Amino acid sequence: MSMVCPQPSKLAPVITLIPLFVLFFSGVPVHALNVGVQASNAAVSVTKDCSRKCESEFCSVPPFLRYGKYCGILYSGCPGEKPCDGLDACCMKHDACVQAKNNDYLSQECSQNLLNCMANFKNSGGKMFKGSSCPVEDVVNVLSVVMEAALLAGRYLHKP
């Protein structure tokens, strides 16, 4: 008799992130989310600052991912900054959408638009900005898991 090992579900990371999204984006002011994450590397931060340079750090770590100027949790470009590439432009559009919806990070429309934009970028063979150390698959996969969790949390909380 052969035993079959169960494969981890692709939904496991999404389900794990739902409580995080409910906590993060259920009306809690952004400054209240600064829980004092510390690391030996002083460059690691989860505070809400704007970016003026194209970055590619922590490519596969959702809480710390920084890609371009606009992709990452609590990370965005400064007003008037141009995106670093097409993928960064997807994140910039998502940030603008969320802002237009009173900072509703659980907006179904904004989350789905970002997923569609990232899929189009990846499927069209979009190029990452020069100097990026992140593979497109890593960034798209991390952001997709986060957006899928946002979609599930938004459905649960009945967000349009």
Rounded distance between C-alpha atoms, residue 26 and residue 157, angstroms = 9
Q: Which residues are catalytic?
A: 94
Average pLDDT, the chain: 78
Q: What would the DSSP string read from start to end of 26-62?
A: SS--GGGG------SSTT---S-EEE-S-EEESTT-T
pLDDT digits (tens, 9 = 90+) for 102-140: 999 899 999 999 999 999 999 999 999 999 999 999 999
pLDDT at 22 over 50: no
pLDDT digits (tens, 9 = 90+) for 23-67: 444 443 333 332 223 333 444 444 567 899 999 999 999 889 999
Q: 34-42 long-range contacts, Cβ below 8 Å, gap at least 24?
A: 37/63
Tokens of 106: 């659980």
**pTM score, two decimals?**
0.71
Rounded distance between C-alpha atoms, residue 132 and residue 67, angstroms = 8
Tracing tokens 């910039």 back to the chain, one arrives at: 92
